[in-house]
Amino acid sequence: MRIPRALNPRLKKRIWRKFGIYEIVVPEETTPSRTVPDSIEFPDYISGKLLIIPKSPEVKDAEQLEGMRQSCKIASSILHKMQTFIKPCITTDKIDELVHRLSIEAGAYPSPLHYKGFPKSVCTSVNNVAVHGIPDLRALQDGDIVNVDITVYYKGYHGDCSKTFPVGNVDDRGLQLIGVTEECLQHAIKHCGPDVPFREIGARIYRRAKRNGLTVLPAFVGHGIGKYFHGPPEIYHSKNRYPGLMKPGMTFTIEPALSHGSENTVILEDGWTVITEDGSRAAQAEHTILITEHGAEILT
Ligand code: MF3
Ligand code: CO
Ligand code: CO
């Protein structure tokens, strides 16, 4: 894929003004992958005992749901701790260090670490990095926005959530992007429940984003989650024709990513970092939810 000249990581970083006031971010040097003690239970892709992922959305029983509740609770409590930690001068590698330590202290494995080759324990996506940013030695700057996407594996189950944080003073357009993204997620969750089509989620998020002058990045989908990090269903965040209805006992994520500009993204040479094609900023928000008899419960 061609990388637009202005966004070529080999060129010097620069301030972009078309979509607000912020620095274009490119991947920088990072530290080695962190290690996890053997006392922590490893997920299938680390232990080598490969799991069979269900072919259709799984309805979980009470015991499985208890497992989901525990892992989701750990993921969300770590995410909450980022709120006070994130400030100018902190590197995203320091966020990785903290998430890694807090996961292990909770008895959990940080799911991103070595998942399909991802080298770090959390994803941190700054400004024009849309998703899957690799924590590195770039210090956060006043005016940045950073998404922290935390997944942990605890007693056999993954829990997954993310939030986009403002760093210091962020311009109004940045704050609006974060706010509308969060609203889109909450709005979608409100309408989930038994026998609601999965495709409704994307339809609602698309409409709400559009009404606010923002673009959904359609390349990224939410996912079923359980003993597996990613499984069916796929949750589209834009207009779609994905089949199937929600049923009580299903657990899946909703994780819309929105931008001010193009819906197109580019994957960089590291195989992970996804940037917006036009350099506009992207924000993302994610919860793991459970379909109940009457609606949906946020587990994270
Ligand atoms: N947490 C991300 C999600 O919401 C997945 C990250 S995959 C990783 O699905 F390998 F980058 F961690
Ligand atoms: Co996630
Ligand atoms: Co997810």
Q: Which domain does 292 fall in, by range?
A: 48-298
Q: What is the mean pLDDT of residues 133-141?
A: 98
Q: What is the pLDDT of residues 8-48, one digit of tens each?
A: 555 445 666 789 999 999 999 999 999 999 999 999 999 99
On whether residue 117 sits in a domain, the answer given is yes
Q: 63-97 burial, b for 16+ CB within 10 Å, e for fewer?
A: ebbebbbbbbbbbbebbeebeeebeeebbbbbbbb
Q: What is the pLDDT of residues 220-271, one digit of tens each?
A: 999 999 999 999 999 999 999 999 999 999 999 999 999 999 999 999 999 9
User: Which residues have a Cβ under 8 Å from the Cβ of 197 and sit 6 or more positions away?
Assistant: 243, 244, 245, 246
| pLDDT for res 1 | 42
| pLDDT for res 265 | 98
Atom number, ligand 1, closest to the C-alpha of residue 116: 10
Ligand 1 pocket residue status of 115, Cβ below 6 Å:
yes
pLDDT score of 2 more than 50? no
- How many C-beta neighbours within 10 Å does residue 189 have? 18
Q: Where residue 4 falls among pLDDT bands split at 50, 70, 90? A: low
On whether residue 14 sits in a domain, the answer given is no
Ligand 1 pocket residue status of 112, Cβ below 6 Å:
yes
Ligand 1 pocket residue status of 267, Cβ below 6 Å:
no
Q: Please identify which residue in the block is written with the tokens 């899957």.
A: 132
Neighbours of ion ligand 2 (CB under 5 A): 149, 160, 162, 286
Mean pLDDT, all residues of the chain: 95
On whether residue 27 sits in a domain, the answer given is no
111: CATH? 3.90.230.10
| pLDDT for res 17 | 72
The DSSP line for 67-86 is HHHHHHHHHHHHHHHHHHH-
| pLDDT for res 16 | 64
Q: What is the mean pLDDT of residues 207-216?
A: 98
More confident residue, 107 or 16: 107
As a whole number of Å, the CA-based R_g of the chain is 18
Neighbours of ion ligand 3 (CB under 5 A): 160, 253
Backbone angles phi, psi at 258, to 5 degrees: -125, 150
On whether residue 1 sits in a domain, the answer given is no
Atom number, ligand 1, closest to the C-alpha of residue 118: 10
pLDDT score of 276 more than 70? yes
Q: What is the mean pLDDT of residues 151-165?
A: 99
On whether residue 260 sits in a domain, the answer given is yes
On whether residue 35 sits in a domain, the answer given is no
Q: What is the mean pLDDT of residues 140-167?
A: 98
Total domains, the chain: 1
Atom number, ligand 1, closest to the C-alpha of residue 229: 9
| pLDDT for res 18 | 83
Atom number, ligand 1, closest to the C-alpha of residue 122: 12
On whether residue 9 sits in a domain, the answer given is no
CA–centroid distance, residue 221 to ligand 3 (Å)? 8
| pLDDT for res 14 | 60
